[in-house]
């Protein structure tokens, strides 16, 4: 009887351990995604952005976002928030937080990154090289722990157009970030403003 119980215990532990190993390997391997695996989405006759076909529209991620897509199983999320550029500058100047020596996209990104950091217990921020054609743009990696003790990693891009400010935010749990980092970069690099002839 004891030997049977031990055998069952061994099987359960082995199965659990194998599952953990599989999950661990799965989270470490990079996602091999190609341009043809993406689908282009046109948003409000303003911009297009391409995302993996496995991500679906999800309207509950952020009330201010014009674009919200996710895959709950893979725990991958991407949103885009766009704001009126003149209104943003006026508001920042009214409350005396706009720094004239910085560009609009620098003011905007500095404020947004600081706001995100304030809502995390521990955080690490790294600026990356990022360029969207001839538009002023910036990009950051942010790693931190939420108030619910969840380790999260973000790839956040900022783009300035003639009349709008855009924030592109992609994220996942920290142990899956390496796997999806290149996918997130492809998503954000695909961002394109629509010309009047394309609307």
| Model pLDDT for residues 10-52, shown as the tens digit of each residue | 444 444 444 444 455 455 567 778 778 899 999 999 999 999 9
- Residue 36 and residue 181: Cα distance in Å, rounded? 18
Q: What is the pLDDT of residue 3?
A: 46
- Asked whether the predicted pLDDT for residue 6 surpasses 90, the reply is no
Specify the CATH number of the domain 33-198: 3.40.1000.10
**Mean pLDDT, the chain, as a whole number?**
87
Per-residue tokens: 62: 């952020």
Q: What is the pLDDT of residue 151?
A: 96
Give percent above pLDDT 70 in the chain. 83
Q: Where are the domains of the chain?
A: 1-30, 33-198
Is the CB of residue 40 less than 8 Å from the CB of residue 190? yes
- Residue 167 and residue 170: Cα distance in Å, rounded? 10
Residues contacting 132, CB < 8 A, separation 6+: 157, 159, 189, 191, 192
- Asked whether the predicted pLDDT for residue 164 surpasses 50, the reply is yes
Is the CB of residue 78 less than 8 Å from the CB of residue 67? yes
Q: Residue 85 phi/psi, 5° resolution?
A: -65, -45
Strands (DSSP E) found in 6-162: 38-43, 47-52, 56-57, 67-71, 76-84, 123-128, 136-145, 151-160
| Model pLDDT for residues 108-156, shown as the tens digit of each residue | 999 999 999 998 887 899 999 999 988 999 999 999 999 889 999 999 9
Q: What is the pLDDT of residue 197?
A: 52
């Amino acid at each position: 009887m004891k030997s049977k119980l031990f055998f069952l215990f061994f099987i359960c532990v082995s199965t659990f351990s194998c599952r953990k190993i599989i999950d661990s390997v799965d989270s470490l391997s990079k996602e091999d995604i190609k341009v043809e695996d993406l689908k282009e989405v046109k948003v409000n006759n303003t911009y297009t952005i391409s995302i993996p076909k496995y991500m679906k529209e999800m309207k509950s991620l952020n009330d201010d976002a014009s674009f919200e897509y996710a895959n709950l199983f893979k725990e991958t999320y991407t949103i885009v928030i766009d704001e009126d550029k003149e209104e943003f500058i006026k508001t920042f100047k009214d409350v005396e937080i706009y720094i004239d020596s910085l560009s609009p996209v620098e003011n905007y990104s500095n404020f947004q990154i600081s706001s995100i950091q304030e809502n995390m217990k521990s955080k690490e921020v790294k600026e990356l090289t990022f360029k969207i054609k001839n538009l002023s743009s910036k990009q950051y990696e942010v790693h931190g722990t939420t108030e619910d003790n969840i380790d999260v990693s973000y790839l956040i891009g900022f783009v300035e157009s003639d009349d709008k400010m855009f924030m592109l935010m992609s994220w996942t749990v920290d142990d899956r970030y390496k796997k999806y980092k290149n996918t997130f970069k492809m998503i954000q690099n695909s961002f394109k403003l629509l010309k009047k002839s394309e609307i």
